[in-house]
Structures are given as structure tokens and as C-alpha cells.
Amino acid sequence: MEGLGINWATFLAQIANFIILLVILRLFAYKPFINMMEQRSNRIRESLAEAEKVKQEAAKAEDDFKKRLESASKEGQEVIARAMRTGEEARQRALLEAKQDAQALVERARAEIQRERDEAINELRGEFADLTITAAEKVIEKSLDKQAHQQIIEKVLEESSTLKPKG
């Protein structure tokens, strides 16, 4: 090998130096580098796992939000439906009360008209009786017994009231 220019002593020294350099590099550079890479790899795995966990929680939160939103929407629709039913019931009650009030008002008006009519008829009967007596007194020029004459007039009026008036 000396023909190739290789000196065995130098070659062995270089091999020894290389091995020592490898051991030193392994102890002081390679192992810390591997440890650092291992730690970084672990942190990345943990971050990925945490990201996946956050993603799952976000999906779960989104599902919960959708469920709550649907529930709130249903409740809102139920409230609206109840309000509409209540409003319709109130409108129906108000309409019924208004009809009842109108009917009562009509009945009172009819009763009042009937009472006033009866009063007017009675008043007219009295005036008619007085006028008849006065006319009869003037015709026969003597005063009749007012009570007897009143009874005769009442009888005539009762007979005439059974006849139906025209109009």
C-alpha cells in the first residue's frame, strides 16, 4: 500500500481520529440533535392531536348550536302559533260580546219603544175620553156622569183595539 502512497501509521491514526470524531459527534451533536428532533416530533404530534380534539369539539359545538337553534326556532313557531290562537280567540270573544251587546241594546230599544207606545196610547185614550165627554156634553148640553161615561168609552176602546190598525 505504500505504492499507493498510503502510510499505515497515518492511516490508522486517521481512522482512530475519525472514530473519535464519530463518538464525539454522536455524544455531543447527533444525540442532542436526535433528542431535539424527537421532542419536536412529539410536540407536532401533540399539536396535531390537540388540533383534532379542538376540531371535534368545534364540530360538537356546532351540532349543539344547530340543535339549540332548531329548538329555539320550534319554540318561536309555537309561541307565534299560540299568540295567533290567543289573538283569534280574543277576536272571537270580542265579536261575540259585541253581538251580545248589540242584541241587548236592540232588546232594550224595543222594550223602550213598546213602553213609550203604550204610554202614548194610554195618554191618547185619556185625551180621547176627555174630548168625547166634552163633545157629548156640548151635544146634549148637559153634564154626564164622568165615571159612567169613562166606562163606556173604555169598553168602546177595548173593542176597537182588537181591530188591527192600518199602517
Query: CA angle at residue 20 from 16 to 22, to 5 degrees?
Result: 115
Which of 59-73, 90-104, 129-143 has the weakest average pLDDT? 129-143
Average of pLDDT values for 121-130? 81
Average of pLDDT values for 1-30? 86
pLDDT, position 94: 93
Average of pLDDT values for 67-74? 92
pLDDT, position 151: 77
Q: Indicate whether this model's pTM tops 0.75.
A: no
CB of 157 closer than 8 Å to CB of 125: yes
Q: Which three cell numbers stand for residue 16?
A: 482512530
Average of pLDDT values for 69-73? 92
Q: Which three cell numbers stand for residue 19?
A: 472514530
CB of 128 closer than 8 Å to CB of 157: yes
pLDDT score of 113 more than 90: yes
- Cβ-proximal residues to 1 (8 Å cutoff; 6+ apart), any chain: 8, 11
| 19 vs 137, more confident | 19
| 26 vs 143, more confident | 26
Q: Which three cell numbers stand for residue 45?
A: 404530534
Query: CA angle at residue 127 from 124 to 131, to 5 degrees?
Result: 135
Measured distance CA(56)–CA(62) in Å, rounded: 10
pLDDT, position 167: 46
pLDDT band of residue 141 (cuts 50, 70, 90) is low
pLDDT score of 135 more than 70: no
CB of 156 closer than 8 Å to CB of 135: no
- Cβ-proximal residues to 8 (8 Å cutoff; 6+ apart), any chain: 1
Average of pLDDT values for 134-151? 67
Q: Determine phi and psi for 165, rounding to 5 degrees.
A: -70, 150
| 100 vs 149, more confident | 100
CB of 99 closer than 8 Å to CB of 105: no
CB atoms within 10 A of CB 153: 19
